[in-house]
Amino acid sequence: MRSVAVALAVARKDLTSEWRTRELVPALAQFVVLALVIANFGFQIDSRNAPAIAPGVLWMALVFAGLVAFGRAFAAEREQSSLEALLMTPASPAAIFAGKALAAALLLVLCEAVLLPALALFFSVPLSFDVVSAVLLATVGMAVLGCLFAAMVARVRARELLLPLLTLPLWIPFIVFGGQAVQAAMGGGGGTGNTSGLLIDLDILFVVLTSLVARFVLDD
Amino acid sequence: MTRYEKGALAAVVLMLVAAGFIFLYAPTDALQGPVQRIFYLHVSSAIAAYGCFAVVLIGGVAYLWKENVAADRLARAGALVGLVFTTVTLVMGMIWAKPIWGTYWTWDARLTSTLVLWIIYAGYLMIRRLADPGRQAARFAAVVGIFGFIDVPVVHFSVTWWRTVHPGPVVINDALPPQMLIAFFVTMACTLFLAAVMIGIRYRIEVLTDQAAERVVPATIVAPTEAGSAR
C-alpha cells in the first residue's frame, strides 16, 4: 500500500514538473506530426496505399517518440542530481521506478492522443477501438522497459547512443503483436489470433521482471 | 604447454574430427546436394550460442544475488563467445539459404529473431564498455543479460509459433537417417567442447584484465612517492 502511495507521489511530481515547463509533450506532438509528413514523402502516400502503410508509420513514429520520452524521464533527475536524494528516502527503489514509469507512460499516451487522430486524418484510416487498445497495451510494456533502460543509461557515457540499442530489440514483441492488431483493424490483413491477450501477457512478464531488477539499476 | 593451449589444441583436433564426419562419413543429401552439409555446423553453433547465453543468464543472476565477481566474469566470457557462435549461425545460414531459397535473407521469424538475438548481446557488450567498470557495469549487464535471454526461447520456438520457411527441429523429430544423425551429434559435441574452451580462455583473459585494472590504480598512487624517495 505504501509503495503504491510512493509510486503515485513520484508520478505526480514528474507530471507536475512537466505541466509547469510544458516542454516534452508539445515537442513530442510536433515530432509525431513531422514523422507523418516525412512518411508521406518517403512512401508517396495516396488513398490506395495509405491503409497498408499507416500501421508501419504509426509504430515507427510511436517507437521513436517513446525513446525520446523515456530518455527524458531520468534526464531532469540526472541534471539536478535529485535521483540520489529520492533514493535516500525510505521509499523502495521499485516504487520510485514504478512512479517514474507511470508518469512517462502517461506522457506518451498524451503524445498518442495527437498521433492517432493525426494518422486517421492524414492517412484517412479508421480509428477503431482495436487500434487504440493495441497501442495502449503496448505502451504499458514499452514504458516499463524504456524506463528501465533509461535509468540505466542515465549513468553511462554516450547515453543517447545506448538507449535505442538496448531498448528497441526488447520492444520488438510489442511491435510484432501491436502491429498485427493495428494491421487487422485497418484492413491490411495479418492479425492472427488473440493479439490483445498476447500483449497483456507481455505486459505482465515485463512488469514482473522489471520490478524484480529495478533496485539493481537504481540503487548504487 | 599451458592448460589453455592444451584445451585449444584438443578443440582444434575435435573440430577436424567433426569435419571428417561431415565431409567423409555423412551421406550427401539427395535433394539439396553437398550444400546440406552446412546443416551440421549451422545447428551445432546455434545450440552452442544458446548455451553461451544461458551462461550469461546464470552468471548475471548469480552476480545480482551474491555480488560474485567470478560469476560476472563468466557472464562476460559467455556473451562474447555466444555472439561469435550467433554470427557463425547467421552467416552459415545465409550461405545455405542462397542456393536453396534463392536469397541470402528473408524476414522469416527465425532469421529475424536470431538477428535480434545478435543485436541484444552486441548491446550487452556495448553497455559493458560504456558503464563505469566494476559494480555498475556488472549490474547493468546482468539486467540486460536476463532480459535478453527471453529471446532465446523465442528463436527456438519461432518455427512452431509462426509460419516460417525455416525448417523445424529435424533432429528431435527423428527426420534424419542414422548416419546424418551420428555426424550431427559428433559435430554438436565437438562444437560444444570448442565453446567451453573458448569461454575458459576468455574467462582467463577477463581475470587478467581485472587484475591489470586493479594494478593500474595503486601504481599511479605509488609512483610519485617512489620517485620522491629516489631523489
* pLDDT tens sequence across A129-161: 989 999 999 999 999 999 999 999 888 888 788
The model's pTM: 0.89
- CATH number for the region B3-230 comes to 1.20.120
Domain range summary for chain A, segments of one domain joined by +: 2-218
pLDDT number for residue B231: 41
Q: What tens digit of pLDDT does each residue of A176-187 get? A: 899 989 988 887
pLDDT number for residue B215: 78
Q: By the CB < 8 Å criterion, does A170 face chain B?
A: yes
CA B193 to chain centre: 12
How many C-beta neighbours within 10 Å does residue A17 have? Answer: 13
pLDDT number for residue A192: 59
Interface test with A, best of B111, B119, B124, B130 (most A CBs within 10 A): B130
B218: pLDDT strictly greater than 60? no
Query: Chain A residue closest to B128 (CA)?
Result: A156
Q: What residues in B contact A173, CB-CB < 8 Å?
A: 154
Alpha carbon distance A55, A119 (integer Å) = 9
Interface test with A, best of B110, B119, B143 (most A CBs within 10 A): B143
Average pLDDT over residues B46-55: 97
Q: What residues in B contact A152, CB-CB < 8 Å?
A: 127, 131, 140, 143
A114: pLDDT strictly greater than 90? yes
pLDDT number for residue A67: 94
pLDDT number for residue A156: 85
Q: What tens digit of pLDDT does each residue of A64-92 get? A: 999 999 988 888 888 888 888 888 888 88
pLDDT number for residue B148: 94
**Shortest CA distance to A206 belongs to which of A172, A163, A156?**
A172
Query: Chain A residue closest to B127 (CA)?
Result: A162
pLDDT number for residue B49: 97
Instruction: Give A106-159 as a DSSP string.
Output: HHHHHHHHHHHHHHHHHH-----HHHHHHHHHHHHHHHHHHHHHHHHHTTSTTH
Average pLDDT over residues A20-40: 92
Residues contacting residue B215 through CB under 8 Å, at least 6 positions apart: none
What percent of chain B is modeled with pLDDT above 70? 93
pLDDT number for residue A135: 94
Q: What is the mean pLDDT of chain A?
A: 89
Alpha carbon distance A153, A130 (integer Å) = 34
Q: How far does A26 lie from chain B, in Å, by closest CA?
A: 31
How many C-beta neighbours within 10 Å does residue B181 have? Answer: 15
Cell of A32: 509525431
3-state secondary structure B135-196: HHHHHHHHHHHHHHCCHHHHHHHHHHHCCCCCCCCCCCCCCCCHHHHHHHHHHHHHHHHHHH
Q: What residues in A contact B64, CB-CB < 8 Å?
A: 213, 216
Q: What tens digit of pLDDT does each residue of B107-166 get? A: 989 999 999 999 999 999 999 988 888 888 999 999 999 999 999 999 988 888 887 888
A193: pLDDT strictly greater than 90? no
pLDDT number for residue B77: 96
Phi, psi of B106 (to 5 degrees): -140, 150
What percent of chain B is modeled with pLDDT above 90? 70
A35-39, A176-180, A187-191, B211-215: least confidently modelled range: A187-191
Q: How far does A217 lie from chain B, in Å, by closest CA?
A: 6
Amino acid code (one letter) for A86:
L
When pLDDT is cut at 50, 70 and 90, the band that residue B227 belongs to is very low
Evaluate whether B165 touches B101 at the Cβ level (below 8 Å): yes
Average pLDDT over residues B48-74: 95
Amino acid code (one letter) for B215:
R
Alpha carbon distance B220, B231 (integer Å) = 18
Nearest-CB residue to A165 (from B123, B131, B143)? B123
Q: How far does B68 lie from chain A, in Å, by closest CA?
A: 14
When pLDDT is cut at 50, 70 and 90, the band that residue B229 belongs to is very low
Nearest-CB residue to B127 (from A162, A170, A220)? A162
Whether A169 sits inside 8 A of B132 (CB atoms) is: no
Nearest-CB residue to B143 (from A157, A169, A213)? A213
pLDDT number for residue A190: 58
Q: By the CB < 8 Å criterion, does A113 face chain B?
A: no
Whether A217 sits inside 8 A of B140 (CB atoms) is: yes
Domain range summary for chain B, segments of one domain joined by +: 3-230
Angle between helices B38-66 and B135-148 (to 10 degrees): 130
Query: 3-class DSSP state for residue B33?
Result: strand
Whether B147 sits inside 8 A of A170 (CB atoms) is: yes
If you ran DSSP here, which 8-state letter would residue B68 be given? Answer: -
Nearest-CB residue to A166 (from B64, B135, B144)? B144
